[in-house]
């Protein structure tokens, strides 16, 4: 996914495939576990980033998971990874009106990214497919062509839509804004970009928006797991194939690693990143009490909870922003 020049140069990328980085963890309330795996695959550069984060907001245990697929370089995806969830959980309406908070956080992060891009000559952008867990609610927000798929009652269900320029509503929106869509190996905005929504992409911003599409699902006994992945996985996997493979492996880290390895084996030519969340308990409330010294938006004490590092090889998160403990 991304710019035309990158697509044309992909055939020259190194074919050396490194072992995927991986990890996982468990929520403090025991309601969900997660795992991730990420690999540059057959590409010579890595532009995928991801985040797996558990926080405490107004007495609620909150899970935040995201996959960010960069184009034009890694810096936009890295920026979104660093800032999106912080902007979200500090939004004053995060608990009371989560959907509007998500929309605001996406657009605010995009605006701040564009300001930070003023000193760069080359355009860069990123997709974002995110999942927010609050109580018995799962909210999936998407910009771009990374994808979220759930397994409910054994059935694979896409809970996000890939934003492609040739979709009738997306094409109409772009053309109404004065842009155009043309074929250049695939359908591209301005003949350049293969997605119709993204963070960044300053030169195409009038047409390539960061407005997320949001879908809410109830977390109940029929909801088994969630898969978030960049298009490096979905290029070679159907939704049903991915769900079937995850069903076979109970541990979410192992199932994420298996998906990534199989995608490489099937010939994916892109970076591949996968996050899997398994739902373990479905009681009606995940509200927990913290001591009076615990501030809103501050992570509760971890105790014996083991959560592995969620960093890719390209970026070290500052200690003050890290909220995870490495898995032994």
* Domain extent listing, the chain: 4-279
Domain 4-279, CATH: 3.60.40.10
Residue 173: per-residue pLDDT: 97
- Give Rg (Cα) of the chain: 19
pLDDT above 80 for 318: no
**Which stretches of the chain are DSSP H helices?**
4-9, 75-89, 98-116, 168-176, 231-234, 239-247, 252-265
Rounded CA-CA distance 133/64 in Å is: 7
Kindly report, residue by residue over 162-218, the tens digit of the pLDDT.
Answer: 999 999 999 999 999 999 999 999 999 999 999 999 999 999 999 999 999 999 999
In 3D space, the residue among 10, 72, 65, 68 whose CA is nearest the CA of residue 41 turns out to be 10
* pLDDT tier at 310, thresholds 50, 70, 90: very low
pLDDT, mean over the chain: 85
DSSP 62-73: EEEEEEEEEESS
**The two structure tokens encoding residue 179:** 């842009």
Q: Write down the pTM of the prediction.
A: 0.82
Q: What are phi and psi of 63, to 5 degrees?
A: -105, 135
* Per-residue pLDDT at 125 exceeds 80: yes
């Amino acid at each position: 996914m991304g710019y035309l020049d990158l697509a044309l140069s992909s055939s020259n990328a190194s074919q050396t495939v490194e072992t995927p980085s991986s990890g996982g963890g468990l929520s403090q309330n025991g309601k969900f576990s997660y795992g991730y795996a990420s690999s540059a695959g057959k590409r010579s550069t890595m532009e995928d980033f991801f985040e797996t984060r558990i926080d405490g907001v107004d007495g609620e245990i909150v899970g935040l998971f995201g996959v960010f697929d960069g184009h034009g370089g890694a810096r936009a995806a890295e920026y979104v990874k660093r800032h999106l969830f912080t902007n979200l959980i500090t939004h004053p309406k995060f608990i009371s009106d989560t959907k509007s908070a998500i929309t605001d956080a996406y657009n605010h992060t995009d605006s701040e990214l564009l300001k930070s891009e003023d000193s760069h000559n080359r355009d860069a952008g990123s997709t974002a497919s995110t999942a927010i867990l609050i109580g018995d609610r799962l909210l999936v927000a998407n910009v771009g062509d990374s994808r979220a798929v759930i397994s409910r009652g054994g059935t694979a269900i896409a809970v996000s839509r890939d934003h492609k320029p040739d979709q009738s509503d997306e094409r109409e929106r772009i053309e109404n804004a004065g842009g155009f869509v043309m074929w250049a190996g695939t359908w591209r905005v301005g003949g350049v970009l293969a997605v119709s929504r993204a963070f960044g992409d300053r030169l195409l911003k009038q047409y390539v928006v960061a407005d997320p599409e949001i879908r809410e699902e109830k977390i109940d006994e029929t909801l088994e797991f969630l898969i978030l992945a960049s298009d490096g996985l979905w290029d070679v996997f159907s939704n049903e194939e991915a769900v079937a493979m995850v069903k076979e492996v109970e541990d979410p880290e192992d199932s994420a690693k298996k998906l990534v390895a199989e995608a490489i084996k099937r010939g994916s030519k892109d970076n591949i990143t996968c996050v899997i969340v398994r739902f373990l308990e479905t009681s009606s409330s995940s509200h927990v009490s913290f001591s009076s010294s615990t501030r809103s938006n501050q992570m509760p004490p971890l105790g014996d909870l083991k959560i592995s590092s969620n960093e890719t090889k390209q970026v070290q998160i500052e200690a003050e922003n890290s909220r995870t403990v490495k898995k032994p």
